[in-house]
Amino acid sequence: FILKEDHSMLDYLVKFIKRIIKNKNIYVLVVDDSLLIRKHITNILSKLKFNVIEAHDGEYAIKLLQKNQIDIVITDLLMPNLNGNDLIKHIRKKYTMSELPIIVISSQDEKKEFIKSLKLGANDFLKKPFLKDELVLRIHNILDLYDSYKKVNKKLQIDSLTNVYNRYYLEHHLEKVFNLYENKTIAMLDIDFFKKINDTYGHQYGDKILEHFAKTIKSVVRKSDIVIRYGGEEFLIFFPNTTKKEALIILLKIKRRLQECDYNYTFSAGISDEGSSLPEMIKIADERLYKAKKEGRDRIII
């Protein structure tokens, strides 16, 4: 019996250590109007290697959420300006419970308020005063679920032929990423005469070209750049913190790689850093791509 107990303890420890290693990449937003409680939570979380960002009310929390990629929110209920439940309401308009988990911590004895939080989309709640282990275990449990959600979601977002992001990613996530950056550039790339390649060498060969094109793009862009298969043989690249000229240099590098490789195909592209929204920027890049096609293909228009 004792041995069995020890085993489960060991399992738990292993799981705990694995979790802590992962915590280094997790950003926690702690929202509480009490500096004392905020510091107390931050202190516990920092020891577990979490990255902690603090907000003194809901309003400020919303500002921080727009500028930072947050993985989990821990919020108080009673706060000036914007209270916890209003913050939950706001977050749930943009993120589902599995996309951005929320834990409510409050001293309110009112059971009704807690129930309201859960109805609004809080994942869990804790009553003040809470034990350190209580907080840590609840966070770790939620993050374990969050991990498996992310794994499934990642599969959903990837195009299985080319291994780059797909349209689903564009529609569900790029908009959020887009708003994180002040300066950004978008490029739309389309393979020239692809229909002819398919007709001449067969659909399977066409697939190979698609794989090769995506691989070439990925080998040239930086890790922070996002590559998406936009349509059949059309790809979108999102360049954060990048000027139009810098994006052009990267596209010219892709062009040179294609000239040096054994395959014989070219692409046309349009680049845009104009427009205040993602659809607007895509539209402008797409118009330039269309122009590149009309002007004879195998060219990039900025």
Q: Please state whether beta strands 300-301 and 124-127 pair in parallel, antiparallel, or not at all (unpaired).
A: unpaired
Nearer to ligand GH3, 80 or 232 (CB): 232
Question: Rounded to whole angstroms, how far apart are CA atoms 174 and 192?
Answer: 26
Which residue, among 152, 297, 180, 194, has the nearest Cα to 238 in the 3D structure?
180
Contact status: 37 vs Mg ion (CB under 5 A): no
Of residues 63-82, those binding Mg ion (CB under 5 A): 76, 78-79
Residue spans of alpha helices (H) in 158-271: 167-169, 175-178, 194-201, 203-220, 244-260
Contact status: 86 vs Mg ion (CB under 5 A): no
Of the candidates 134, 171, 233, 274, the residue annotated as catalytic is 233
Nearer to ligand GH3, 129 or 202 (CB): 202
Name the binder of 35 from Mg ion, ligand GH3, none, CB < 5-8 A by kind.
none
241: left (phi over 0), alpha (psi -120 to 50) or beta: left
Nearer to ligand GH3, 132 or 195 (CB): 195
Of residues 119-178, those binding ligand GH3 (CB under 6 A): 161
Name the binder of 13 from Mg ion, ligand GH3, none, CB < 5-8 A by kind.
none
Residue 56 token pair: 């003194």
Nearer to ligand GH3, 44 or 197 (CB): 197
| Shortest spacing between CB 196 and ligand GH3, in angstroms | 6
Contact status: 289 vs ligand GH3 (CB under 6 A): no
Q: Which residue has the tokens 């599969």?
A: 155
Binds ligand GH3 (CB under 6 A): choice among 191, 227, 282, 292: 191
Of residues 196-225, those binding ligand GH3 (CB under 6 A): 196, 198, 203, 206-207, 210
- Asked whether 183 and 244 are in contact (CB, 8 A), the reply is no
Residue 48 φ then ψ, to 5°: -90, 10
Question: Rounded to whole angstroms, how far apart are CA atoms 44 and 219?
Answer: 41
- Residue 30 pairs in a beta bridge with 54, 74
Size of the residue set binding ligand GH3 (CB under 6 A) = 17
Residue 12 token pair: 């738990």
Of residues 217-276, those binding ligand GH3 (CB under 6 A): 232-233
Name the binder of 225 from Mg ion, ligand GH3, none, CB < 5-8 A by kind.
none
Question: Rounded to whole angstroms, how far apart are CA atoms 243 and 3?
Answer: 62
Q: Which residue has the tokens 């590098």?
A: 253
CA torsion sign, 81 to 85 to 89 to 94? positive
Q: Give me the amino acid identity at 233.
A: E
* Candidates 3-11, 105-113, 173-181, 190-198; binding stretch for ligand GH3 (CB under 6 A): 190-198
Which residue, among 237, 244, 12, 300, has the nearest Cα to 144 in the 3D structure?
12
Binds Mg ion (CB under 5 A): choice among 57, 71, 159, 190: 190
Contact status: 302 vs Mg ion (CB under 5 A): no
| Shortest spacing between CB 199 and Mg ion, in angstroms | 13
| Shortest spacing between CB 232 and ligand GH3, in angstroms | 3
Determine whether 175 is an active site residue: no
By CB under 5 A, name the binding residues for Mg ion.
33, 76, 78-79, 190-191, 194, 233-234
Residues near ligand GH3 (CB under 6 A): 161, 190-196, 198, 203, 206-207, 210, 232-233, 293, 297
Catalytic residues: 233
